[in-house]
Every structure is written in C-alpha cells, then in structure tokens.
Amino acid sequence: MIFSGIQPSGDLTLGSYMGAIKNWVEMIDEYNAFYCIVDMHAITVRQVPADLRRRTLEQLAQYIACGLDPRKVTLFVQSHVPAHAELGWVLSCYTMFGELSRMTQFKDKSAKNTENINAGLFTYPALMAADILLYQTDFVPVGDDQRQHVEICRDIAMRFNNIYGDVFTIPQAYIPKVGARIMSLTEPTSKMSKSDKDPGGCVHLMESPDDIMRKFKRAVTDSDTAENCVRFDPAAKPGVSNLMQIYAGSTGRTFEEIENEFCGKGYGAFKAAVGQAV
C-alpha cells in the first residue's frame, strides 16, 4: 500500500513532479495506491474558499494529466474523508510538544508567516501522520523535504502500537535517488517553491514552453570556464548540480553521462538542453 498527497496551494511545480508525482506514476502497477489532495493542510495559511476549491479541481486534473489513471489508483480530496481529521486529533494526543517544536518545516513557515502562526501549522505532522496511517501504508513516496514528517509519523505509530497493540503499519519513506529535492533556479541553495518571491526561480507544470525555456536560460550557475564546468558537486556548484538533477530526472541519464555529454560545451548549451528536456 502506498499513500501520498500534495497541497492545492497553487500550480504544481517541477519540484513536486520530480520529487513526488513522477514516482507515484511509476509505482501504480506495483502497489495499491491512494493519492490525495490535502486541502485541510492548505488552510494552515489563509485561503479564499472559492480559490481553494478551484485549485483543488485543477490539481486533480493535473494529477490525471501527469499519468495517474483513476482506473488504477484512488484519487481523492482529504476533506471529503472525515476520518482524516478524526484520527488526526487522536494522534495529536500521542505526539509530543518537543517533537513538533523541532520540525524544520514549522520553523521555516512560521518565520515566513509571522502574522499567522496558528496551532494547525504546529500540529500539521499529527494530521499528516493520520493521512498516512489511516490506509495502513507501507511506503510514502515523497520529496526529500518531507522525510522528517514521515519519520515523526513512524514515531507516533510505534508509540501508539506500544500501548494498544499492532494497530498501524509502520510506513517507510520512499525517496527518489534523483530529483528528490529540486532547488530554485535563481537561488539554488533554497528549495524550489510555489511561494518563491522570485518567479524566475520556480517552474510550474502549466507554464508555456517558451516561459520554461526562458527561465532555464537565466538559471544561476557559476563563473567556472573550465572544459569540465558541467559536473556534479552540490557543495561547490549548487546551481549546476541542481540543473544536472533536473536533466537526469527528465532524461534518465546518469551524472557521469551528463558530464561527458557537455564536456567543453559551456553553460549556455547545457541550460538550453535542460530546458528542452523539461
């Protein structure tokens, strides 16, 4: 059994696709799959109800367009299944305050939304644990940024099981080897995000080919002019390494193959090829 979901907080991004949805599609023939639009998580940030409903339907359409066949998988909206909220409350009673306060995503989001640090944002991991555990999930295909949430879900499930018996399956995160964490094109040390202040840093799935190419041509690299300037080194070359992740995820090539392909060609040709592949 596999379960995963994404908030309907805006157009799906390339990061969402490579870090999660691409793997969802690849797994549907092997597992019984439940994929969700987690609209209750979205209201930790203030929403216009009509816009949230519209984005929910648009995201469902994008799920299907990405290859999630409703005849093979279960696609649903989180708020349509009240058991998610019910179990979320129960599990919050078995979640420690210290655990929640250490969550990286809470720290990041509360820093960005200082005027709306609500309890829902703080207890978000308990509801996410309910989403996962409700379906006796074995694997949770997610991007690397969600690893910590799956780990706390495992802790909550084991704590509950130690008291009441083997109630929940203990899930495992399924993190792709390539594309697990796609970074901003303009700030490659930060994750690509729908809320990126620089629109050039985030690629949306519904953008036109011309707009996508324009963003990749302007993507940040570095000043290296060596023949082998296209090489995978996240610490020293974060921009180039991010583009290599995207190219590898789009073409199936290894990093070594990419380095050989663009040896002596420079960044202009490389960025154009990445944009074309996407």
Q: Is the pLDDT assigned to residue 76 strictly greater than 90? A: yes
pTM for this entry: 0.86
Break the chain into its structural domains and give their ranges.
2-174, 199-277
Q: What is the pLDDT of residue 221?
A: 93
Q: Tokens standing for 83?
A: 């058991």
Q: What is the pLDDT of residue 198?
A: 86
Is the domain defined by 2-174 classed in CATH 3.40.50.620? yes
Separation between Cα atoms, residue 172 and residue 111, nearest integer Å: 29
Q: What residues have CB less than 8 Å from 159, skipping those under 6 apart?
A: 94
The residues assigned a catalytic role are: 109, 191, 194
Q: What is the pLDDT of residue 111?
A: 72
Strand order of the β-sheet with 139-141 is 74-77, 33-37, 2-6, 139-141, 172-174
- pLDDT tens profile 166-224: 999 999 999 888 888 899 999 999 989 877 778 899 999 999 999 999 999 999 999 88
Q: What is the pLDDT of residue 118?
A: 87
Residue 107 — pLDDT band, cuts 50, 70, 90?
Answer: confident
- pLDDT tens profile 125-169: 999 999 999 999 999 998 888 899 999 999 999 999 999 999 999
How many CB atoms sit inside 10 A of residue 12's CB? Answer: 22
CATH class of 199-277: mainly alpha
End-to-end CA distance of the chain, in Å? Answer: 30
Q: What is the pLDDT of residue 84?
A: 98
- pLDDT tens profile 4-63: 999 997 789 999 999 889 999 999 989 999 999 999 999 988 899 999 999 999 999 999
Region of poorest pLDDT, from 34-43, 62-71, 110-119: 110-119
Q: What is the pLDDT of residue 247?
A: 96
Separation between Cα atoms, residue 256 and residue 258, nearest integer Å: 5
- pLDDT tens profile 257-276: 999 999 988 899 999 999 99
Query: From residue 97, how far is each of 103, 155, 162 by CA, in Å?
Result: 10, 13, 19
Q: What is the pLDDT of residue 144?
A: 83
Which helix (H) or strand (E) element contains residue 156?
Answer: helix 147-164
Q: What is the pLDDT of residue 241?
A: 96
Q: Is the pLDDT assigned to residue 106 strictly greater than 90? A: no
